[in-house]
Structures are given as C-alpha cells and as structure tokens.
Amino acid sequence: MSDATREAMEYDVVIVGAGPAGLSAAIRLKQLDPSREVVVLEKGSEVGAHILSGAVLDPCGLDALIPDWKEKGAPLNTPVKQDNFYLLGEAGRLRVPNFPMPPLMNNHGNYIVSMGNVCRWMAEQAEELGVEIFPGMSCSELIYGENGEVKGVVAGEFGKNPDGTPGPAYEPGMELHGKYVFLSEGVRGSLSKEVIAKYDLSAGKEPQKFGLGMKEIWEIDPEKHNEGEVTHTMGWPLGGNAGGGSFIYHLENNQVYVGFVVHLNYKNPYLYPYMEFQRFKHHPMVAELLKGGKRVAYGARAISEGGYQSMPKMVAPGVALLGCSVGMVNVPRIKGNHNAMLSGKAAAEAAHDALEAGRSSDELSAYEDEVRNGAIGSDLKKVRNVKPLWSKYGLGASLAMGGLDMWTNTVGFSVLGTLGHGKSDAEATEPASKHKQIDYPKPDGKLSFDRLTNVSFSMTNHEESQPAHLTLKDASVPISVNLPKYDEPAQRYCPAGVYEVVSEEGKDPRFVINFQNCVHCKTCDIKDPSQNINWVTPQGGDGPNYPNM
C-alpha cells in the first residue's frame, strides 16, 4: 500500500475491466435503476484494446441482456454456416463427423465475431445509459475497509521511476470507492488473484487449469474464403507432448482467424508453444488456405480451462469476481463469452437487490447461487469431466469417454461423477533431465514468423521508464533453480519473447525481462514452475492495442 494522498470518488458499484462481464454488469445495473452511480475502469488504451478471444459467440448472453441487439447494430455479422472438426496427422487429416457429437457442440445459431469490437459496441450501449467508462486507467491496488471488506480501488497512478519511487511527473491516481466492487479482469487478474488468496476463496476447490491461446488474423485469397466456416483441429503437431488444438474461423472481408491453444499442464519444459503454433500453419490443409495471404495481427492470452470444479468462491465482503476472473469457459465448446455476460448480469441483479434493501459491502451470495445453479452452472456441469479426462488419458480416450460423458450429462447424469484435476499447471512441469529437446523448424517468414516479428503485430507498447510489471519474488531463482532444473522454460512458454537467459563468455548467465514486449497473456504467472513470477498491472494504457481480436 502506498503512502500517497489521493482524492476519492464515491460510486454505488465500481467495475474493474471493460470486457464482456464488466460491461454486462454495468449495462444491467443501469437498466434496473438509471440513477445508479456506476463506473468501469479499463487498463487498455481504449475499450477492446486488450480483448483477445477466438471467437465464436453464443448470443444467449446478449439475448438476455439486450434482446434487441440486432436492431441496435451489434457487430455480430457472420453467422456460422459450416462446422468442421478434424484430427490431424503430419501430412493428412481425418474428418470427425458431426452427427455423433452431443447437441451442445453444434454451432448453429452462433456468430464469428471480434470480441474486441463486440466490447466496443457494448461500451457504447453502457455510456448511452449513463455508465462512466475510463480507459487507460489501470487499477493497481485494492482498498480495504475497517472490517476487512473491499471498499474500492486505486486507479490512474502514473509516473513512477523504474525502482518504484515517484518520478518528476508522478500522479498518485484516485481512489474509487464502491458499495460493491466487481472484478472482471479476465484470466488471472492481479486484483482477483489477491482477493482469492486473502479470503481463501479456492478452499475445497480443484486447482484452476489454463491454456495458452495464440491468434493471428490473416487476409486470404478471396477464392479460398468461405464466410461463416468454422474449423477445429486436434492432434498434430502436439501429439502426446501436450493437449490442445486449433481453430480457423472465416469472418467477413476475406479474413480468417487462425488460432492455436496449448494446454499449460504439459510436462516437457522444452516444449515451445509459440513454435508449435507456427509449425501447425505448415500442415498442408492450413498452408494451402493461407498461401498468398498475409498476416495482419497477432496476439496471445491465457484461457481458464478448469471448469465447474475449479471455480473459486465468487464473493467476499464488498467484492464479486465475474467471468474469467472465476473461470467460466466451456472447454469442449471453446466458449466462455456468453457465460461472462450472464455472470455480469447476475452480479448486477444481486447488487441491485442488495442496494435496494439498504445493504452494502457484504457478500452477494445471491450472485454465487445464480452462477452455480442457473444457466452458467448448467452449461459447465455437462462438460466438467472433459478436461480431466484429456489430461489423464490423452486425446483418443478423452474424445470417446468425454463424448459419452457429455451425452449422459445432456440427459441429467454422469457415470463418472465429478473428476478432479490434481496438480496445478506449474506443478505439472517436470525436470528437463526427464525429457529431450524438441527440434523446431526455422520460421520461413511467409507462413511462420519469429516471435519478435509477430509481437510487432500486436502493437504492444510499454513506457520504458516505469517499474517492470513482471516482478520476481526472488531474483536469484531463474538462474539458480529454473535454469539447472528446467532449462528455464520462461524462454519458451512466453509467446512474446519477454524472457531471455543471456550467456556471455567468461560471465555467469543472466535472466533478462524485456517487459516492453508483454502482451498481458499471464502465462508466466501461471506456468513458472517455481511460481516466482508475479504479473502486476503496468501503468494505464500500456500493453497491446488489438484492432479486431
């Protein structure tokens, strides 16, 4: 906690994060009571700048929140027309037919969207209702009340020196106090992480599991473009090295989203997720699609994959966790945005009822009840065993057993009960001595690209004179522990080339953090085997500037 003297502003509800969950909450609060004082604080330079998602959107969240979204011009322009699923080998593919898949896997009625643009549109709807939205305002601290409740946040602190002391242009920021504070920071948010630890919200729950999602936008030959086509693949190039798969979505304007997800519970510290993505694009099916096209954007983001059994308690005194701060992704559907919207709506309704009853700064237990027992819980319960089956038994068994389990859950029961996840993703990493290095092909500059070149297509930027927002609990651990034991996997798991081990002749190796490259994916905070890296928010507006992600 800093000693700065700050001005304070009072609100009914303070919302951290202008993603689908936070904006849904803001909109719903104003729908229920136009006089409600609501503020949304967003660390990106604009709403949508830090939003990265696949994304095929199930519109049920929007239907519940803004039923006339079509008339209001929501950017859902590309309905899914074709659904493909392939198992890949190195040179070939096997089409998995759609008919044996459970109904929940059907994408009929869904839309290929840019979630960044959906959030920009939602922000316009919120502002028309009178919500105050402040982009470029990182929330660097929580403020606690006399009884241990969360009562607000510090936002807009600028101008610190690299050592953390106030610089010549230092601005202490403001305190924004709320009768309730909603944290909708997305996966592994720094304030959410603090709240979960402080109030022990994960007690009795399975550890959260994660994937790393990497995505490029390509403009392709119009003759190869098939607007509305959705393709998912599994298998090559990951094989038995890691779980994961790809997505290829044809949106409008001859563009395709090409994405790759690597589950972060992989064992081999030599695995290089970014290079697995680049290698994937050389599969004949993908290479033929992209040939003659150009990549126009790149980004990466962690995905919560633990599902129903990994969701922590969502409320503590004065605070509620929304959307991916809790982890509401339906893993086999690769969808969580609809649940994020529904969670924001549910939190808003619980806060509205509490405020109407004269309450404040207590636990919004009605919100948690709705999430676990309503539409979100129903969506996630049906697929709760897919991820643990995949982790324990591999791709083939998970397809068969997971498919059967989803079918039985569709009619209301599971022969498997609820399976656990076991280790965290950090604990899953094994010593390098147990594994062989993986020889990755050099990027060709046409289909595949080196990391730093691709990072330039994320438009990420950080003011270099500020303190590094990637902090080490113990600065000696990367070289003294992680390098000899794990060959320091931060060199490889980071999709933005932030971490380097620099070796110079006659000198000891050094661990270098190029924080300016960071795209805020949070993988380091999740996967570091020593759990020594702590991601904290940089000053407001810094980070990626995604156009249509």
User: What letter represents residue 222's amino acid?
Assistant: P
Has residue 411 been placed in a domain? no
Has residue 293 been placed in a domain? no
At residue 405, the 3 state secondary structure works out as helix
Query: For residue 97, with 0-12 CB atoms within 10 Å meaning exposed, 13-18 middle and 19 or more buried, which class applies?
Result: exposed
Measured distance between the N- and C-terminal CA atoms of the chain, rounded to whole angstroms = 35
Q: What is the rounded distance in angstroms from the CA atom of residue 512 to the CA atom of residue 317?
A: 39
Query: If DSSP states are collapsed to H, E and C, what string results for 82-134?
Result: EEEEEEECCCCEEECCCCCCCHHHCCCCCEECCHHHHHHHHHHHHHHCCCEEE
pLDDT for the residue numbered 1: 43
Q: What is the rounded distance in angstroms from the CA atom of residue 439 to the CA atom of residue 168?
A: 49
Q: What is the rounded distance in angstroms from the CA atom of residue 87 to the CA atom of residue 487?
A: 32
Q: Six-digit token pair at 459?
A: 């438009």
Q: Are strands 132-135 and 38-42 parallel, antiparallel or unpaired?
A: parallel
Note if the bond before 166 is cis, omega within 30 degrees: no
437 membership: H or E segment, kind and range: none
pLDDT for the residue numbered 187: 98
Q: What is the rounded distance in angstroms from the CA atom of residue 497 to the CA atom of residue 486?
A: 18
Has residue 263 been placed in a domain? no
Has residue 506 been placed in a domain? no
Q: What is the rounded distance in angstroms from the CA atom of residue 411 to the CA atom of residue 251?
A: 34
User: What letter represents residue 297's amino acid?
Assistant: A
CA 214 and chain centroid, separation: 11
Has residue 252 been placed in a domain? no
Q: Six-digit token pair at 212?
A: 């790393």
The CATH number covering residue 161 comes to: 3.50.50.60
**Residue 215's beta-bridge partner residues?**
259, 299
Q: What is the rounded distance in angstroms from the CA atom of residue 166 to the CA atom of residue 164?
A: 7
Q: Are strands 315-316 and 499-502 parallel, antiparallel or unpaired?
A: unpaired
Has residue 463 been placed in a domain? no
Q: What is the rounded distance in angstroms from the CA atom of residue 484 to the CA atom of residue 277?
A: 27
Q: Six-digit token pair at 84?
A: 């493909």
User: Which residue, chain included where needed, has tokens 């979204």?
Assistant: 69
Instruction: Please say whether the dihedral angle defined by the alpha carbons of residues 119, 79, 252 and 219, taken in this order, is positive or negative.
Output: positive
CA 336 and chain centroid, separation: 10
Has residue 52 been placed in a domain? yes
Has residue 186 been placed in a domain? yes
| CA distance readout (Å), 156 to 134, 135, 176 | 10, 10, 10
Q: What is the rounded distance in angstroms from the CA atom of residue 396 to the CA atom of residue 399?
A: 5
User: Could you tell me which of 325, 269, 283, 282 has the C-alpha nearest to residue 438?
Assistant: 269
Q: What is the rounded distance in angstroms from the CA atom of residue 232 to the CA atom of residue 282?
A: 16
457 membership: H or E segment, kind and range: none
Q: What is the rounded distance in angstroms from the CA atom of residue 476 to the CA atom of residue 7?
A: 39
Residues 6+ apart with CB under 8 A from 373: none
pTM: 0.95
Q: For residue 337, how many C-alpha atoms fall within 13 Å in the half-sphere facing its CB?
A: 26
Instruction: Please say whether the dihedral angle defined by the alpha carbons of residues 274, 276, 277 and 279, taken in this order, is positive or negative.
Output: positive
At residue 384, the 3 state secondary structure works out as coil
The tens-digit pLDDT sequence of the chain (549 residues) is 455 689 999 999 999 999 999 999 999 999 999 999 999 999 999 999 999 999 999 999 999 999 999 999 999 999 999 999 999 999 999 998 876 677 767 899 999 999 999 999 999 999 999 999 999 999 999 999 999 999 999 999 999 999 999 999 999 999 999 999 999 999 999 999 999 999 999 999 999 999 999 999 999 999 999 999 999 999 999 988 999 999 999 999 999 999 999 999 999 999 999 999 999 999 999 999 999 999 999 999 999 999 999 999 999 999 999 999 999 999 988 899 999 999 999 999 999 999 999 999 999 999 999 999 999 999 999 888 888 887 887 777 666 677 777 777 776 777 788 889 999 999 999 999 999 999 999 999 999 999 999 999 999 999 999 999 999 999 999 999 999 999 999 999 999 999 999 998 889 999 999 999 999 999 999 999 999 999 999 998 999 999 999
Range of the domain at 132: 8-70+116-205+312-382
Number of domains within the chain = 1
